[in-house]
Amino acid sequence: MPLIWSQSVDGLDWNELSALYAAAPLGNKSPAGLKTAFTNSMFRCFVHEGGKLVGVGRALADGVDCSYICDVAMLPSHQGLGLGKQIVAKLVSLSSGHKKIILYSVPGKESFYKKLGFKRMSTAMAIFGNQTLALEQGYVDET
């Protein structure tokens, strides 16, 4: 079946999106929270196959300086087929013209993004709502 790409949140099933994140697995994200996050993102990619949502990604951007790619996810059935690479490429293309494009990755997936041209930042810092969990999951370190 052909893949249908969209950037619009119109008619999106937020419950289906929440289920995709749980299956990916990228955690439990509420439909309401995802609606807020995707609605407030400048760039979005939704990929459907046979009427089913199979992949997504978004980028927060200011239109000039910085675009931040995050929440790239796909159903396990569609992982390893190049769809993630296509979603990231689309978000990079949409972010063209920004001085920098930053990407937030799940620990352990850095090599995938390096193949797409991303480099590790030496100056990135973060404050998480649950710093202990972020440390345990490898998102931050003690230094």
Can you tell me the distance from the alpha carbon of 93 to that of 116, in angstroms, rounded to the nearest whole number? Answer: 12
Residue 77: what residue type?
S
- Give pLDDT, residue 1: 84
Which residues are CB-neighbours of 9 under 8 A, at least 6 positions away? 35, 38, 39, 44
Class (C level, CATH) for 3-104: alpha beta
**Which contacts of 28-36 are long-range, i.e. CB under 8 A and separated by 24 or more positions?**
35/9
Q: Residue 143 pLDDT more than 80?
A: no
Dist CA 140 CA 136 (whole Å): 8
For residue 21, the model assigns a pLDDT of 96
pLDDT digits (tens, 9 = 90+) for 14-62: 999 999 999 999 889 999 999 999 999 999 999 999 999 999 999 999 9
Kindly tell me if the per-residue pLDDT of 124 is higher than 90.
no
